[in-house]
Structure 1
Amino acid sequence: MENPRHLNGRRKLVRVPRPKLPVWLDWVITIALGIGVALLCRNFVAEPYLVPSGSMLETIHEGDRVLGEKVTFRFDAPKRGQVVTFQDPDSADTTLIKRVIATEGQVVDLVDGKVVVDGQTLDEPYTLGKPSEAIYRHSKVLSEPISYPFTVPAGCVWVMGDNRTNSLDSRYYGPVPVSSISSRAVAIFWPPSDFATL
Protein backbone atom coordinates (compact mmCIF):
# COMPACT_ATOMS: atom_id res chain seq x y z
CA MET A 1 0.00 0.00 0.00
CA GLU A 2 1.30 3.47 -0.83
CA ASN A 3 0.72 6.69 1.15
CA PRO A 4 1.23 10.17 -0.29
CA ARG A 5 3.58 12.42 1.66
CA HIS A 6 4.65 16.02 1.01
CA LEU A 7 8.42 16.49 1.02
CA ASN A 8 9.90 19.93 0.24
CA GLY A 9 6.67 20.98 -1.34
CA ARG A 10 6.64 17.94 -3.64
CA ARG A 11 4.32 14.95 -3.47
CA LYS A 12 6.14 11.65 -2.95
CA LEU A 13 4.85 8.09 -2.55
CA VAL A 14 6.18 6.08 0.35
CA ARG A 15 5.74 2.29 0.39
CA VAL A 16 4.37 0.97 3.67
CA PRO A 17 5.86 -2.51 4.31
CA ARG A 18 3.38 -5.38 4.42
CA PRO A 19 3.52 -7.48 7.57
CA LYS A 20 5.35 -10.76 6.94
CA LEU A 21 3.46 -14.02 7.35
CA PRO A 22 5.03 -16.83 9.33
CA VAL A 23 6.85 -19.29 7.04
CA TRP A 24 4.52 -22.16 8.00
CA LEU A 25 1.44 -20.10 7.04
CA ASP A 26 3.05 -19.20 3.71
CA TRP A 27 3.52 -22.94 3.04
CA VAL A 28 -0.08 -23.76 4.03
CA ILE A 29 -1.47 -21.09 1.68
CA THR A 30 0.78 -22.24 -1.20
CA ILE A 31 -0.19 -25.90 -0.77
CA ALA A 32 -3.92 -25.06 -0.47
CA LEU A 33 -3.78 -22.97 -3.65
CA GLY A 34 -1.91 -25.75 -5.47
CA ILE A 35 -4.50 -28.36 -4.44
CA GLY A 36 -7.34 -26.03 -5.44
CA VAL A 37 -5.88 -25.44 -8.91
CA ALA A 38 -5.26 -29.18 -9.38
CA LEU A 39 -8.85 -30.04 -8.42
CA LEU A 40 -10.25 -27.40 -10.77
CA CYS A 41 -8.11 -28.74 -13.63
CA ARG A 42 -9.16 -32.32 -12.90
CA ASN A 43 -12.86 -31.46 -12.78
CA PHE A 44 -13.03 -29.06 -15.73
CA VAL A 45 -9.93 -29.38 -17.95
CA ALA A 46 -8.26 -32.81 -17.96
CA GLU A 47 -8.06 -36.03 -15.97
CA PRO A 48 -5.76 -39.07 -16.08
CA TYR A 49 -7.29 -42.55 -16.29
CA LEU A 50 -5.81 -45.99 -15.68
CA VAL A 51 -7.05 -48.55 -18.22
CA PRO A 52 -7.75 -51.81 -16.33
CA SER A 53 -8.70 -54.09 -19.23
CA GLY A 54 -7.76 -55.08 -22.78
CA SER A 55 -11.03 -54.03 -24.43
CA MET A 56 -9.22 -51.37 -26.51
CA LEU A 57 -6.29 -53.51 -27.69
CA GLU A 58 -4.18 -52.90 -29.68
CA THR A 59 -4.80 -49.16 -29.50
CA ILE A 60 -4.64 -48.97 -25.69
CA HIS A 61 -3.07 -51.69 -23.53
CA GLU A 62 -4.08 -52.91 -20.11
CA GLY A 63 -2.28 -50.79 -17.51
CA ASP A 64 -1.81 -47.78 -19.81
CA ARG A 65 -2.52 -44.34 -18.38
CA VAL A 66 -4.57 -42.12 -20.64
CA LEU A 67 -5.17 -38.37 -20.50
CA GLY A 68 -8.77 -37.31 -21.07
CA GLU A 69 -9.51 -33.67 -21.85
CA LYS A 70 -12.87 -32.26 -20.72
CA VAL A 71 -13.15 -29.00 -22.65
CA THR A 72 -14.14 -30.23 -26.15
CA PHE A 73 -17.50 -31.71 -25.19
CA ARG A 74 -18.57 -28.53 -23.42
CA PHE A 75 -18.80 -26.91 -26.87
CA ASP A 76 -19.12 -29.78 -29.33
CA ALA A 77 -20.81 -33.20 -29.60
CA PRO A 78 -18.80 -36.44 -29.77
CA LYS A 79 -17.83 -37.51 -33.29
CA ARG A 80 -17.33 -40.90 -34.86
CA GLY A 81 -13.80 -42.22 -34.36
CA GLN A 82 -13.13 -40.33 -31.12
CA VAL A 83 -12.07 -42.33 -28.08
CA VAL A 84 -14.12 -41.30 -25.05
CA THR A 85 -14.45 -42.05 -21.34
CA PHE A 86 -17.92 -42.44 -19.83
CA GLN A 87 -19.85 -43.80 -16.88
CA ASP A 88 -20.40 -47.57 -17.06
CA PRO A 89 -24.15 -48.16 -17.63
CA ASP A 90 -23.86 -51.27 -15.42
CA SER A 91 -22.00 -49.57 -12.55
CA ALA A 92 -22.10 -45.83 -11.76
CA ASP A 93 -18.77 -46.06 -9.89
CA THR A 94 -16.85 -47.29 -12.95
CA THR A 95 -15.45 -45.31 -15.90
CA LEU A 96 -15.12 -47.04 -19.27
CA ILE A 97 -13.15 -46.12 -22.38
CA LYS A 98 -14.38 -46.97 -25.90
CA ARG A 99 -14.48 -45.60 -29.44
CA VAL A 100 -17.49 -43.70 -30.82
CA ILE A 101 -18.79 -45.64 -33.82
CA ALA A 102 -22.05 -43.81 -34.54
CA THR A 103 -23.89 -40.74 -33.31
CA GLU A 104 -27.56 -39.91 -32.84
CA GLY A 105 -29.81 -40.73 -35.77
CA GLN A 106 -27.28 -43.01 -37.46
CA VAL A 107 -28.16 -46.63 -38.21
CA VAL A 108 -25.73 -49.31 -37.00
CA ASP A 109 -25.66 -52.83 -38.43
CA LEU A 110 -23.33 -55.81 -38.00
CA VAL A 111 -22.90 -57.75 -41.24
CA ASP A 112 -20.47 -60.66 -41.70
CA GLY A 113 -18.30 -59.44 -38.81
CA LYS A 114 -18.15 -55.88 -40.16
CA VAL A 115 -19.70 -52.70 -38.76
CA VAL A 116 -22.01 -50.90 -41.16
CA VAL A 117 -23.17 -47.34 -40.41
CA ASP A 118 -25.84 -45.74 -42.60
CA GLY A 119 -25.27 -48.43 -45.21
CA GLN A 120 -21.48 -47.90 -45.39
CA THR A 121 -19.06 -50.57 -44.15
CA LEU A 122 -16.53 -48.89 -41.85
CA ASP A 123 -12.82 -49.13 -42.50
CA GLU A 124 -11.50 -49.99 -39.01
CA PRO A 125 -7.79 -50.84 -39.11
CA TYR A 126 -7.59 -50.40 -35.30
CA THR A 127 -9.56 -53.67 -34.83
CA LEU A 128 -6.79 -55.67 -36.53
CA GLY A 129 -9.45 -57.52 -38.50
CA LYS A 130 -11.23 -58.98 -35.46
CA PRO A 131 -14.90 -59.68 -36.25
CA SER A 132 -17.60 -57.42 -34.80
CA GLU A 133 -20.32 -59.88 -33.86
CA ALA A 134 -23.45 -59.24 -31.81
CA ILE A 135 -23.23 -59.95 -28.06
CA TYR A 136 -26.24 -61.86 -26.76
CA ARG A 137 -25.18 -62.20 -23.13
CA HIS A 138 -27.76 -60.85 -20.65
CA SER A 139 -27.08 -57.25 -19.60
CA LYS A 140 -28.19 -55.49 -16.43
CA VAL A 141 -29.23 -52.55 -18.59
CA LEU A 142 -31.09 -54.32 -21.42
CA SER A 143 -33.98 -56.72 -20.94
CA GLU A 144 -33.40 -58.28 -24.39
CA PRO A 145 -30.58 -58.35 -26.97
CA ILE A 146 -30.06 -55.46 -29.39
CA SER A 147 -31.90 -55.91 -32.68
CA TYR A 148 -30.04 -54.85 -35.86
CA PRO A 149 -30.11 -52.62 -37.78
CA PHE A 150 -30.26 -50.26 -34.80
CA THR A 151 -30.94 -46.51 -34.92
CA VAL A 152 -28.98 -44.53 -32.32
CA PRO A 153 -31.48 -42.46 -30.26
CA ALA A 154 -31.23 -38.69 -29.79
CA GLY A 155 -28.72 -37.64 -27.16
CA CYS A 156 -26.76 -40.91 -27.43
CA VAL A 157 -23.76 -42.45 -29.17
CA TRP A 158 -22.90 -46.03 -30.11
CA VAL A 159 -19.52 -47.09 -28.70
CA MET A 160 -17.35 -50.17 -29.23
CA GLY A 161 -14.00 -51.39 -27.99
CA ASP A 162 -11.28 -51.88 -30.58
CA ASN A 163 -10.76 -55.43 -29.29
CA ARG A 164 -14.06 -56.56 -30.81
CA THR A 165 -13.89 -60.17 -29.59
CA ASN A 166 -13.30 -59.12 -25.96
CA SER A 167 -15.24 -55.94 -25.27
CA LEU A 168 -18.54 -55.33 -23.51
CA ASP A 169 -19.80 -52.23 -25.27
CA SER A 170 -22.97 -50.90 -26.94
CA ARG A 171 -23.56 -54.39 -28.35
CA TYR A 172 -24.01 -55.43 -24.70
CA TYR A 173 -25.51 -52.41 -22.88
CA GLY A 174 -26.94 -50.39 -25.75
CA PRO A 175 -26.33 -46.75 -26.73
CA VAL A 176 -24.54 -44.46 -24.29
CA PRO A 177 -26.05 -41.08 -23.29
CA VAL A 178 -23.81 -38.18 -24.28
CA SER A 179 -24.46 -36.77 -20.79
CA SER A 180 -22.52 -39.69 -19.28
CA ILE A 181 -19.37 -38.95 -21.32
CA SER A 182 -16.69 -37.44 -19.10
CA SER A 183 -13.82 -36.75 -21.52
CA ARG A 184 -12.19 -37.25 -24.90
CA ALA A 185 -9.08 -39.41 -24.60
CA VAL A 186 -6.24 -37.53 -26.30
CA ALA A 187 -3.05 -39.42 -25.42
CA ILE A 188 -1.47 -42.40 -23.72
CA PHE A 189 1.15 -40.83 -21.45
CA TRP A 190 2.37 -43.81 -19.41
CA PRO A 191 4.33 -46.02 -19.73
CA PRO A 192 6.66 -44.04 -22.05
CA SER A 193 7.01 -47.06 -24.35
CA ASP A 194 3.26 -46.86 -25.14
CA PHE A 195 3.12 -43.08 -25.60
CA ALA A 196 0.76 -42.16 -28.44
CA THR A 197 -1.86 -39.59 -29.36
CA LEU A 198 -5.41 -40.88 -29.82
Structure 2
Amino acid sequence: MYIPRFILRCSGVLGYLVQYGCIAHCALEYGADFVVCSGPSMEPTIHTNDIVLTEHVSVLRNHVQKGDIVIAHSPTNPRQYICKRVVAMEGDRVFMPKNDTHSLVPKGHVWLEGDNTSNSTDSRTYGAIPYGLLRSRVFYRVWPVYDMGNLKHPAER
Protein backbone atom coordinates (compact mmCIF):
# COMPACT_ATOMS: atom_id res chain seq x y z
CA MET A 1 0.00 0.00 0.00
CA TYR A 2 1.39 3.36 -1.01
CA ILE A 3 1.19 6.28 1.46
CA PRO A 4 2.11 9.66 0.03
CA ARG A 5 5.27 11.22 1.45
CA PHE A 6 3.31 14.37 2.43
CA ILE A 7 1.04 12.38 4.76
CA LEU A 8 4.02 10.63 6.35
CA ARG A 9 5.73 13.96 7.03
CA CYS A 10 2.55 15.48 8.46
CA SER A 11 2.04 12.51 10.78
CA GLY A 12 5.67 12.79 11.94
CA VAL A 13 5.26 16.50 12.69
CA LEU A 14 1.94 15.83 14.44
CA GLY A 15 3.64 13.18 16.60
CA TYR A 16 6.32 15.66 17.68
CA LEU A 17 3.72 18.32 18.43
CA VAL A 18 1.80 15.91 20.65
CA GLN A 19 4.99 14.90 22.49
CA TYR A 20 6.10 18.49 23.07
CA GLY A 21 2.57 19.45 24.09
CA CYS A 22 2.55 16.70 26.72
CA ILE A 23 5.96 17.78 28.03
CA ALA A 24 4.85 21.42 28.22
CA HIS A 25 1.63 20.44 30.01
CA CYS A 26 3.50 18.39 32.63
CA ALA A 27 6.10 21.13 33.13
CA LEU A 28 3.40 23.76 33.68
CA GLU A 29 1.14 21.54 35.80
CA TYR A 30 3.76 19.97 38.07
CA GLY A 31 6.83 22.18 37.74
CA ALA A 32 6.49 25.92 37.39
CA ASP A 33 4.38 28.45 35.52
CA PHE A 34 3.75 32.15 35.10
CA VAL A 35 0.82 33.98 36.72
CA VAL A 36 -0.49 37.47 35.97
CA CYS A 37 -1.78 38.93 39.25
CA SER A 38 -4.70 41.32 39.46
CA GLY A 39 -6.31 43.20 42.31
CA PRO A 40 -5.04 45.34 45.17
CA SER A 41 -5.00 42.73 47.95
CA MET A 42 -1.24 42.04 47.84
CA GLU A 43 -0.06 45.65 47.41
CA PRO A 44 2.63 46.88 47.93
CA THR A 45 4.31 43.48 47.42
CA ILE A 46 2.50 42.56 44.17
CA HIS A 47 0.61 45.05 42.02
CA THR A 48 -2.05 44.52 39.35
CA ASN A 49 -0.55 43.14 36.11
CA ASP A 50 2.66 42.00 37.79
CA ILE A 51 3.81 38.68 36.33
CA VAL A 52 5.21 36.22 38.85
CA LEU A 53 6.86 32.83 38.53
CA THR A 54 5.34 30.08 40.66
CA GLU A 55 6.41 26.55 41.47
CA HIS A 56 4.19 23.59 42.31
CA VAL A 57 6.68 21.30 44.06
CA SER A 58 6.40 23.00 47.48
CA VAL A 59 2.63 22.56 47.49
CA LEU A 60 2.76 18.97 46.22
CA ARG A 61 5.32 18.01 48.90
CA ASN A 62 3.58 19.95 51.73
CA HIS A 63 6.52 22.34 52.14
CA VAL A 64 4.59 25.62 52.25
CA GLN A 65 5.59 27.77 55.23
CA LYS A 66 4.38 30.88 57.02
CA GLY A 67 5.29 33.96 55.03
CA ASP A 68 5.09 32.24 51.62
CA ILE A 69 2.92 33.83 48.95
CA VAL A 70 0.68 31.23 47.32
CA ILE A 71 -1.78 30.90 44.47
CA ALA A 72 -4.93 29.04 45.53
CA HIS A 73 -8.40 28.27 44.26
CA SER A 74 -10.85 30.73 45.79
CA PRO A 75 -12.98 29.02 48.45
CA THR A 76 -15.99 31.03 47.27
CA ASN A 77 -15.49 30.54 43.49
CA PRO A 78 -13.41 27.48 42.47
CA ARG A 79 -12.93 28.84 38.93
CA GLN A 80 -11.07 31.87 40.30
CA TYR A 81 -7.54 31.94 41.69
CA ILE A 82 -6.38 34.10 44.59
CA CYS A 83 -2.89 35.29 45.50
CA LYS A 84 -2.34 35.61 49.26
CA ARG A 85 0.31 35.21 51.95
CA VAL A 86 0.31 32.24 54.34
CA VAL A 87 -0.06 33.78 57.81
CA ALA A 88 -0.74 30.65 59.87
CA MET A 89 -0.52 26.89 59.47
CA GLU A 90 -2.56 24.11 61.04
CA GLY A 91 -2.51 24.26 64.82
CA ASP A 92 -1.70 27.99 64.96
CA ARG A 93 -4.00 30.48 66.69
CA VAL A 94 -5.26 33.47 64.69
CA PHE A 95 -7.27 36.51 65.64
CA MET A 96 -10.79 36.67 64.13
CA PRO A 97 -11.69 40.37 63.80
CA LYS A 98 -15.36 39.63 63.00
CA ASN A 99 -16.17 38.35 66.47
CA ASP A 100 -13.07 39.63 68.32
CA THR A 101 -11.86 36.11 69.27
CA HIS A 102 -8.95 33.81 68.60
CA SER A 103 -9.41 30.68 66.51
CA LEU A 104 -7.34 27.55 65.93
CA VAL A 105 -6.42 26.75 62.31
CA PRO A 106 -7.79 23.21 61.75
CA LYS A 107 -5.65 20.27 60.65
CA GLY A 108 -5.07 20.30 56.89
CA HIS A 109 -5.84 24.02 56.55
CA VAL A 110 -3.90 27.28 56.18
CA TRP A 111 -4.76 30.88 57.01
CA LEU A 112 -4.26 33.27 54.07
CA GLU A 113 -4.24 37.08 54.17
CA GLY A 114 -3.42 39.78 51.67
CA ASP A 115 -0.62 42.22 52.48
CA ASN A 116 -3.06 45.10 51.91
CA THR A 117 -5.20 44.26 54.95
CA SER A 118 -7.58 47.18 54.41
CA ASN A 119 -8.49 46.00 50.89
CA SER A 120 -8.34 42.20 50.88
CA THR A 121 -10.95 39.47 51.00
CA ASP A 122 -9.12 36.62 52.68
CA SER A 123 -9.27 34.13 55.57
CA ARG A 124 -10.50 36.91 57.84
CA THR A 125 -13.66 36.77 55.72
CA TYR A 126 -14.01 33.10 54.75
CA GLY A 127 -11.89 31.37 57.39
CA ALA A 128 -9.05 28.91 57.01
CA ILE A 129 -8.87 27.18 53.65
CA PRO A 130 -8.04 23.52 53.02
CA TYR A 131 -4.47 22.81 51.96
CA GLY A 132 -5.91 21.04 48.91
CA LEU A 133 -7.00 24.39 47.43
CA LEU A 134 -3.37 25.58 47.22
CA ARG A 135 -1.99 25.45 43.68
CA SER A 136 1.53 26.90 43.76
CA ARG A 137 4.03 29.05 45.65
CA VAL A 138 5.13 32.40 44.25
CA PHE A 139 8.89 32.87 44.38
CA TYR A 140 9.96 35.41 41.75
CA ARG A 141 8.58 38.54 40.06
CA VAL A 142 9.29 38.57 36.32
CA TRP A 143 7.46 41.75 35.30
CA PRO A 144 7.87 44.71 35.53
CA VAL A 145 11.56 44.43 34.71
CA TYR A 146 12.60 47.30 37.02
CA ASP A 147 11.12 45.38 39.98
CA MET A 148 12.25 41.89 38.94
CA GLY A 149 13.48 39.62 41.70
CA ASN A 150 12.59 37.55 44.74
CA LEU A 151 9.50 38.66 46.64
CA LYS A 152 9.87 39.82 50.20
CA HIS A 153 7.30 40.84 52.79
CA PRO A 154 6.91 44.65 52.97
CA ALA A 155 8.36 44.60 56.50
CA GLU A 156 11.58 43.04 55.08
CA ARG A 157 12.10 45.66 52.33
Sort the TM-score into its range (normalised by shorter chain): 0.7 to 0.9
Q: When the two structures are aligned, how many residues end up with a matched partner?
A: 146
Whose helix fraction is larger, Structure 1's or Structure 2's?
Answer: 2
Q: Following the alignment from structure 2 to structure 1, what is the Cα–Cα distance between the partners of residues 138 and 31?
A: 12
Aligned position for 1:150: 103
Match of 1:69 among 55, 66, 77: 55
Q: Following the alignment from structure 1 to structure 2, what is the Cα–Cα distance between the partners of residues 151 and 78?
A: 18
Aligned position for 2:83: 97
Partner SS for 1:197: coil
Bigger Cα displacement from structure 2, 76-85 vs 21-30: 21-30
Bigger Cα displacement from structure 2, 155-164 vs 38-47: 38-47
Where structure 2 has 5 or more consecutive residues not aligned to the other structure, the ranges are 1-6, 152-157
Q: Structure 1 pair 146/93, CA: closer, same or farther in 2 (3 Å)?
A: farther
| Cα-to-partner distance string for 1:72-118 (whole Å, 9 max, x where unaligned) | 222234210011111101101001010001111111127xxxxxxxx
Where structure 1 has 5 or more consecutive residues not aligned to the other structure, the ranges are 1-20, 111-133, 135-144
Whose strand fraction is larger, Structure 1's or Structure 2's?
Answer: 1
Q: TM-score, normalised by structure 2?
A: 0.84
Q: How does 1:59-138 map to 2 (within 5 A)?
A: 59-109=45-95, 134=97
Moved over 6 A (4+): none
- Alpha-carbon RMSD: 1.9
Q: TM-score, normalised by structure 1?
A: 0.68
Q: For the Cα contact (< 8 Å) 1:146–1:174, is it kept in 2?
A: no
Question: Quick check: which has more Rg, 1 or 2?
Answer: 1
Aligned position for 1:142: none
